[in-house]
Amino acid sequence: MKRIILIGSGLAALSFIEALEEDVHVICLTKDSKTTNNSYLAQGGICFSKYEHDSGASHAQDTYEAGHLLGDQRVITSMICASYEAIQKYINQGINFDRQVDTHDFDWALEGAHTVPRILHIGGDRTGYGLMQHLTACLTRHSHITTYEQAEVIDLVHDRDGKICGVYMFDQNNELQQILGHEVVCATGGYSNIFRHNSHAASTVSSGHIIAFHHGVPLRHMEMIQFHPTLLGTPTNNYGLISEAVRGEGGILKNAQGVRFMDDYHPLGSLAPRDITSRAIFEQHQQCYIDIRQVRGFKQRFPGIYQQAQRYCSDDYSQGYLPVTVGAHYTMGGY
């Protein structure tokens, strides 16, 4: 039986396993636990423009502008159109995307840089958790999966012909182990936690890029690190993430003087693209907030964020404000 070593346990890793034939033995290595990864933490939803009936044109244009015109429009459009089949598959499998109570239609949400509501969520702000739970359940048909938690991969193993045939790792007892296989797939996640303020799940930097570079694999676009404008917290401490959907539901960015400063930076105001919004908050040189007083049913709509707010900034929350700071957001690793 073919053995594939898979480094990582997030959405990319589970999607890879789902696409494999059942007669493949997958050895999944994750440096934390199976549920400690950025995929489980992801609050924001999935863009699904299939029913806009313009072949993804509006969605692609919004994405292109959100990327500061640095993307390839052909690639963007092709990825958007290719996503329709994958997302529809999840819908057909019965995944519980949020729906409106009265009509049972999808509860389309609006987020930053989008001109129309096209975002699907699960459980309000628990989309990543919902997706991971769904994929984990779907993988029960794969009987040949061995998972090692607390396994830190540190290097690759080569055979006599120079072909990669395995990995070296430290196991949960901090002992060096050699795991051999026919193929090695790296789905290790990102490296945003090289910055002090970040939304990363783990406390240690992903080693995938380091290992790849060490073995001559070229790394591209490493400078394209995304910064999220609304981490919950202050310039010295952050406690989690505040989804863009909060602003999509009516949250307004304000500085300590109560000024709606984003109107001076972009026509979309508080729903401007992330890079512009992050820069604007940074340039305030003071604590900034999201005014959530116009967000209906905040506790029910964003249960995870509500819990974090109650734990770390209950006084601000009681006044209808959430303190925010800029931080490096999830970066996607793997190759």
Residues catalogued as catalytic: 274
How far apart are the C-alpha atoms of 232 and 316, rounded to whole Å?
11
Q: For the packed helices 57-66 and 73-92, what is the interaxial angle rounded to 10 degrees? A: 120
How far apart are the C-alpha atoms of 269 and 260, rounded to whole Å?
8
Beta partners for 325?
231
> Which own/partner pairs from 32-37 qualify as long-range (CB within 8 Å, at least 24 positions apart)?
32/149, 32/150, 32/201, 32/202, 33/149, 33/150, 34/9, 34/147, 34/149, 35/132, 36/201, 36/202, 37/8, 37/9, 37/10, 37/189, 37/201, 37/202
Beta partners for 238?
233
